[in-house]
Chain A
């Protein structure tokens, strides 16, 4: 069972609008949570990374929040651009050794239209 659940599965918004993507996880023990942007057929690119002690982190127009108590995270995109069209993947890491693996959500497919 996937331990990282994302919603919505897909989203269509107009250019310039804001949107918020959701992520719920059950991965334990929790180490950190990341949001990645993945263009079709390309490797994921990291947007933000947060440990349990952080509850918000921004990267340009991207702002991620984390509630470690409820095990929820969100990614807010402001003033969307056509180039934001991609899959946004929530990734949760467990453990703290150097070889730990990432638990991927299935992603939210975002389409920004003119």
Chain B
């Protein structure tokens, strides 16, 4: 079965550079979520999109922005990178299971290292 695809899987950037992470949700999933997981930390919700519109916002820094495109893929743009941005970035997509219950499926993550 198709899964959530993230690219690149690994990325190394220097401080103050920019980075763009991409997420391709499972076909027919209409919601995409972005999470940041620092070393030894639990994932922190950044932002989500439903039908190409931002639906919820978490602890996303102002230096980051994201959008969902017409084909439902999403991109997380990160500017003025800081050492603390080094983390595993997960994308998840969701499908309505029943009622208002959504099951989130996670991608393999993009490991960003800022040097």
Interface residues of A (CB under 8 A from B): 2, 31-32, 36, 41-46, 49, 51, 89, 96-102, 104-107
Contact = CB atoms under 8 A, between A and B. Distances in A.
Contacts of B50: 98-99
A32 B33 CA distance: 17
16 contacts: A2-B42, A36-B106, A41-B88, A41-B111, A42-B108, A43-B107, A44-B90, A49-B103, A51-B101, A97-B55, A98-B94, A100-B56, A101-B33, A101-B58, A102-B43, A104-B43
A8 to B, nearest CB: 16
Contacts of B43: 44, 102, 104
A49 B108 contact: no
Nearest to A89: B42
Nearest to B40: A106
Contacts of A41: 88, 109, 111
B14 to A, nearest CB: 23
Given A46-B104, A49-B103, A106-B42, 11 more contacts: A43-B106, A44-B43, A44-B90, A49-B97, A98-B96, A98-B102, A100-B102, A104-B43, A104-B44, A105-B42, A107-B42
A88 to B, nearest CB: 12
Contacts, number: 66
Interface residues of B, number: 33
B90 A101 contact: no
B78 to A, nearest CB: 19
Of the listed residues B92, B97, B104, the one surrounded by the most CB atoms of chain A closer than 10 A to its CB is B104
B64 interface: no
Nearest to A43: B106
B108 A43 contact: yes
B105 to A, nearest CB: 7
B9 to A, nearest CB: 10
B55 A46 contact: no
A49 B97 CA distance: 10
B31 interface: yes
B85 interface: no
Interface in B2-56: 4, 30-31, 33, 41-45, 48-50, 54-56
